[in-house]
C-alpha cells in the first residue's frame, strides 16, 4: 500500500531556530514529491516540488531534499519566524496503481516569538 | 502556476439539503481534482473531474452522493448531496498545471462546509 508518513505531528520552536520536518513514503517508484503549507481553515499553498530525478529544491529559507532509495524527504526551514506557523503537508505522486497524490497527515508547526 | 477560485468560501447547511461548490481556474488544465479534508485530518481524494466524460471516483465515494460536472477546461462543480453532519469538511479543488511527470498540483482556497 502506498502511504506517506510525517513525523512529528506537531512541533513548537522559538523564533530564529532552524528546523527540519520529516516525510517518509513506502514506495520508491514516484513521479515527484510536493511540500505544501496550510493555514488554519484555508487551502494549500505549494512550497516546493521535487521531481523523481532531483535531490533537492530551494526557495528562500526553505530547502527540501529527496532520497528515493530510503523513501525519505525533509523540509528544512532556516531562521524560523512566527509567520511560518502553519501545518506543513508532504504529498507524493506514486507511479503505478491509481497514480494519485497521496498526502501525509501533516506537521503542525508553531514558531513562538 | 495556476490561480484557482472557489465559491462559496464557506456555508452552513441543514441536514438533507445539497450544496454545489464551484471551481474556476485562470487557464486551461487537463486534470482537475476534488478533495475532502475532514476536521483534524489530511486530504482525501474524492474524484478526478474529466472534461467531456464522467468523473472518476475513488473508493468510498459515489456519484449519487458527490455528482461532479466538468463542462470545459477551466471550470468544475462538486455537489454534496443529501448532506449529514458527517459531511462537514473543507472541500478543495486542485489542478495539475503541467503534463506528467512534471506535474505540480495547485489548490484552491477551499470551501468550509458545516452541516447542522
Termini Cα distance of chain B: 36
What does the block give as the cell for A40?
488554519
Q: Specify whether the CB–CB gap between B20 and B77 falls below 8 A.
A: yes
B85 three-class SS: helix
> pLDDT tens-digit profile of B71-90?
999 999 999 999 999 999 99
> CB distance from A93 to chain B under 8 Å?
yes
pLDDT at B100 over 80: no
Cβ neighbours of B94 in A, within 8 Å: 44
Q: What's the DSSP call for residue A83?
A: G
DSSP string, B23-76: EEESS--S-EEEEEE-TT---EEEEEE-TTSPPEEPTT--TTTS-EEEEETTEE
Nearest CB to A44: which of B45, B92, B103? Answer: B92
Q: What is the pLDDT along chain A (113 residues), one digit of tens a residue?
A: 889 999 999 999 999 999 999 999 998 999 999 999 999 888 899 999 999 999 999 999 999 999 999 999 999 999 999 999 999 999 999 987 667 889 999 999 999 99
In angstroms, the separation between the Cα of residue A46 and the nearest Cα of chain B is: 6
- For residues A28 and B54, what is the distance between their CA atoms, to the nearest angstrom? 31
> pLDDT tens-digit profile of B34-63?
999 998 888 999 999 988 888 999 999 999
Q: How many CA atoms, within 13 angstroms, populate the side-chain half-sphere of residue B28?
A: 4
> Do B110 and A43 count as a contact with CB atoms less than 8 A apart?
yes
> Do A31 and B103 count as a contact with CB atoms less than 8 A apart?
yes
Cβ neighbours of B112 in A, within 8 Å: 41
> CB distance from A37 to chain B under 8 Å?
no
Instruction: Please report, for residues A55, B8, B25, B74, B81, the alpha-carbon distance to residue B96 in angstroms, rounded to integers and kept in the order given.
Output: 22, 22, 11, 12, 26
Mean pLDDT confidence for B85-101: 86
The count of residues in chain A is 113
> Do A43 and B103 count as a contact with CB atoms less than 8 A apart?
no
> Do B107 and A104 count as a contact with CB atoms less than 8 A apart?
no
Question: Can you give the pLDDT at residue B75?
Answer: 95
Nearest CB to B101: which of A32, A41, A44? Answer: A32
Q: Specify whether the CB–CB gap between A100 and A79 falls below 8 A.
A: no
The percent of residues in chain B predicted with pLDDT above 90, rounded, is: 77
> CB distance from A49 to chain B under 8 Å?
yes
- Chain B, residues 38-57, CB within 8 A of chain A, namely 41-43, 45, 48
Question: Does residue B61 have a cis peptide bond before it, meaning omega lies within 30 degrees of 0?
Answer: no
Question: Can you give the pLDDT at residue B101?
Answer: 61
What does the block give as the cell for A29?
517508484
What does the block give as the cell for B116?
447542522
Amino acid at each position: 500500500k502506498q502511504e506517506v508518513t510525517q513525523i512529528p505531528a506537531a512541533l513548537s520552536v522559538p523564533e530564529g531556530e532552524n528546523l527540519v520536518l520529516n516525510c517518509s513514503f513506502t514506495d520508491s517508484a514516484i513521479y515527484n514529491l510536493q511540500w505544501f503549507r496550510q493555514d488554519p481553515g484555508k487551502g494549500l499553498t505549494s512550497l516546493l516540488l521535487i521531481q523523481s530525478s532531483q535531490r533537492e529544491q530551494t526557495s528562500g529559507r526553505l530547502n527540501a531534499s529527496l532520497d528515493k532509495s530510503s523513501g525519505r524527504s525533509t523540509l528544512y526551514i532556516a531562521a524560523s519566524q512566527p509567520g511560518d506557523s502553519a501545518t506543513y503537508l508532504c504529498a507524493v505522486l506514486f507511479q503505478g496503481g491509481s497514480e494519485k497524490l497521496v498526502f501525509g497527515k501533516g506537521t503542525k508547526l508553531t514558531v513562538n516569538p | 502556476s495556476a490561480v484557482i477560485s472557489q465559491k462559496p468560501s464557506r456555508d452552513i447547511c441543514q441536514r438533507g439539503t445539497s450544496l454545489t461548490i464551484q471551481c474556476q481556474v485562470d487557464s486551461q488544465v487537463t486534470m482537475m481534482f476534488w478533495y475532502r479534508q475532514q476536521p483534524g485530518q489530511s486530504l482525501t481524494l474524492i474524484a478526478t473531474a474529466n472534461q467531456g466524460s464522467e468523473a472518476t471516483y475513488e473508493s468510498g465515494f459515489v456519484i449519487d452522493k458527490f455528482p461532479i460536472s466538468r463542462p470545459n477546461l477551466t471550470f468544475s462543480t462538486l455537489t454534496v448531496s443529501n448532506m449529514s453532519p458527517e459531511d462537514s469538511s473543507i472541500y478543495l479543488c486542485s489542478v495539475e498545471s503541467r503534463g506528467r511527470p512534471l506535474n505540480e498540483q495547485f489548490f484552491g482556497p477551499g470551501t468550509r462546509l458545516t452541516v447542522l
